[in-house]
Amino acid sequence: MVEECIAPGDVDEDKFDRARRIDWLDIDAIARVRVLMVGAGAIGNEVGKNLILSGFKDMTVVDMDRVVHSNLARCLFFSDADAVDRRFKAKIVADSMSALGTDLKVKPIIGTIQEQGEKFIKKFDIVFGCLDNVLARLHVNSQCCFHGVPYIDGAMDGFNGKVQVILPIQGPCLECGMNDSHAKIVEQRFSCTGNDISLFLPKIGAEITTTSIVGAMMVREALKLASGKSEFCINNVIYYSGQRNSLDELDISIQKDCPNHKFER
């Protein structure tokens, strides 16, 4: 019997060799997952980079916004030229993600998530919320709950970050954890009627280290879902404090009056 010989460098020829050594991580399943990333700003840049390097190959990026100079300190994929030319974030992020690997399908969509129609989200296996406004996040949350698609939501404020995994029917959704402040913002927005009236919300503090941590945590949860290990996922909401160097889990219950838990499938 002849034993197969493995040359010393053979294991290094597989890009994902080290990841395959994690016994429960299913790289082949990860490559088949259809991912939707809503938002291509600071968190979107980090999530996009991590998705490619983790083995995801089929992604769609939705964002309506253009690059400005204040994006550059937190966004890996944006350049000064992008800000000067006011290029669309979704196109830049999709192109930059594609350049990180081979055999990739990364599609940019320039527009809001609300404009994509009611059946759009059901085409995907996992959805990422990399958004900076409450209304868009609530829309993605409700559509994911309705269509039964797992939703990973991330947010940050200065040195603080938050990650929540929404598994429809199984646990609480984003709206279950909304507080009075969120409701007030929604009420203000809907009270502004007419094309010449808008609601101004001040920008929040942000910096790259917190953005990186939140983006990494979000993709880590997707790796669990794609590998069939949803039991490893965050059950409630994880809050990160860069000032206190801590991670805290806040318990959230399904709210009996939450409209997203009244869907029948």
Q: What local confidence, expressed as pLDDT, does residue 39 receive?
A: 98
pLDDT for the residue numbered 225: 98
Q: How far is CA 30 from CA 25, 220, 223, in A?
A: 9, 12, 7
Residue 12 lies in a domain: no
Provide the CA 62 distance to its chain's centre, in angstroms: 11
pLDDT at position 245 is 95
pLDDT in tens, 181-197: 444 444 444 433 444 44
Q: Supply the CATH number for residue 143's domain.
A: 3.40.50.720
Predicted confidence at residue 205, as pLDDT, reads 86
Question: Tens digit of pLDDT for each residue in 69-98?
Answer: 999 999 999 999 999 999 999 999 999 999
Q: What is the pLDDT of residue 196?
A: 46
Q: Is residue 2 part of a domain?
A: no
Q: Which domain holds residue 72?
A: 18-256
Q: Is residue 264 part of a domain?
A: no
Interatomic CA distance for residues 183 and 243, integer angstroms:
28
Residue 199 has pLDDT above 70, yes or no: no
Q: Does residue 66 or residue 7 have the better pLDDT?
A: 66
The pLDDT of 228-251, averaged and rounded, is 95
Torsion of CA 58, 41, 62, 259, to 10 degrees: 100
Non-local CB neighbours of 86 within 8 Å, separated by 6+ positions = 66, 67, 68
Cα torsion 42, 30, 61, 114: sign: negative
Count up the domains in the chain and report the number. 1
Let me know if residue 9 belongs to a domain: no
Amino acid, single-letter form, for residue 176: C
Neighbours of 218 (CB within 10 A): 26
Mean pLDDT across 23-48: 98
Average pLDDT, the chain: 89
pLDDT at 4 over 80: no
Residue 156 half-sphere exposure toward CB, CA atoms < 13 A: 26
What is the rounded CA–CA span in Å between residue 106 and residue 95? Answer: 7
The mean pLDDT value for 55-80 works out to 97
This prediction has a pTM of 0.88
Question: 200 or 216: whose pLDDT is higher?
Answer: 216
Res 5: pLDDT: 57
**Distance from chain centroid for Cα 200:** 25
pLDDT for residue 174: 93
Q: Under DSSP, is residue 92 helix (H, G, I), strand (E, B) or coil? A: helix
Q: Is residue 226 assigned to a domain?
A: yes
Contact partners, residue 65, CB within 8 Å, separation at least 6: 40, 41, 88, 89
What's the confidence (pLDDT) of residue 179?
A: 59
Least confident range from 37-51, 85-99, 217-231, 250-264: namely 250-264
What share of the chain has pLDDT > 70, as a percent? 86
Q: Is the pLDDT of residue 198 over 70?
A: no
